[in-house]
């Protein structure tokens, strides 16, 4: 068992990870990408091109940032009935990720701060927040986590919800704050004030979660980046 950490070295959750290649049926259907995985890749590519997922040497200590996940509809109901696919830790710098850059989170326990996963790499440090959203509201099928200083600093002007500063990313407190939001709605976009520049969108469809981000991004370009 290992622990997942952020840039400051703070333990976010305990992880029991099985190093293995994931079953091809998670990604392919009749020799083509499964539709849910294709949508995930397309959203990921666009967000990378916009700089909302990526890596910059002058930001966050040079660490890669951003991740996204989707419920895995083709995973057998047992033993991984709640499973979801999430981008692996420190893969935000990869322009065109492949299946080995994603991890299957099979189960979790928020009270114990514990996640279980499978894949060639370990999951994003934000995986606990994704897990609690999926657990709280079964209508949520897709989650995107980006970084943008403009969106984060102007979250009120852009009509976004927000979690408090004391709720740091990847922690149980952050997860609990997300519970409050997910209990009330199936879709939304949230500024995580305890996570510098962190924005999270969720919805019943990946394309709608992407729309929520693109909508506020376009508005911010008009309001704050026009000159």
Question: CATH number for the domain including 24?
Answer: 3.40.225.10
Residues present in the chain in total: 227
Pair type for strands 161-168 and 188-194: parallel
**Structure tokens, 54:** 């990526």
| d(C-alpha 207, C-alpha 61), whole Å | 31
**Structurally, how many domains does the chain consist of?**
1
The pLDDT tens digits of the residues spanning 105-161 come to 998 887 888 899 999 999 988 888 899 899 999 899 999 999 999 999 999 999 999
Q: Check residue 8 and give its pLDDT.
A: 38
Structural domain harbouring 122 = 2-224
Q: Check residue 86 and give its pLDDT.
A: 95
Please indicate, yes or no, whether the overall pTM of this predicted structure exceeds 0.75.
yes
> Per-residue confidence at 74, pLDDT binned at 50, 70, 90?
low
Three-class secondary structure of residue 40 per DSSP: helix
> Per-residue confidence at 61, pLDDT binned at 50, 70, 90?
confident
> Per-residue confidence at 3, pLDDT binned at 50, 70, 90?
low
| d(C-alpha 106, C-alpha 114), whole Å | 11
> Per-residue confidence at 38, pLDDT binned at 50, 70, 90?
very high
Q: Check residue 18 and give its pLDDT.
A: 95
């Amino acid at each position: 068992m290992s622990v997942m950490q952020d840039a400051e070295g703070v333990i976010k959750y305990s992880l029991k990870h099985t190093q293995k290649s994931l079953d091809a049926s998670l990604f392919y259907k009749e020799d083509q990408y499964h539709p849910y995985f294709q949508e995930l890749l397309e959203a990921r590519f666009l967000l990378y091109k916009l700089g909302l997922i990526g890596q910059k040497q002058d930001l966050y200590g040079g660490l890669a940032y951003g991740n996204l996940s989707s419920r895995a509809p083709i995973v057998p109901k047992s033993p991984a009935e709640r499973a979801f696919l999430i981008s692996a830790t420190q893969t935000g710098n990869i322009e065109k990720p492949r299946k080995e850059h994603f991890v299957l989170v099979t189960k979790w326990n928020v009270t114990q701060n514990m996640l279980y996963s499978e894949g060639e790499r370990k999951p994003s440090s934000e995986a606990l927040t994704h897990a609690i959203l999926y657990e709280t509201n079964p209508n949520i099928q897709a989650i995107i986590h980006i970084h943008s200083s403009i969106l984060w600093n102007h979250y009120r002007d852009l009509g976004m919800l927000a979690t408090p500063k004391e709720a740091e990313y990847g922690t149980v407190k952050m997860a609990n704050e997300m519970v409050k939001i997910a209990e009330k709605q199936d879709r939304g976009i949230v500024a995580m004030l305890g996570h510098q520049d962190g924005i999270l969108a969720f919805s019943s469809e990946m394309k709608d979660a992407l729309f929520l981000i693109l909508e506020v991004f376009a508005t911010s370009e008009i309001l704050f980046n026009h000159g």
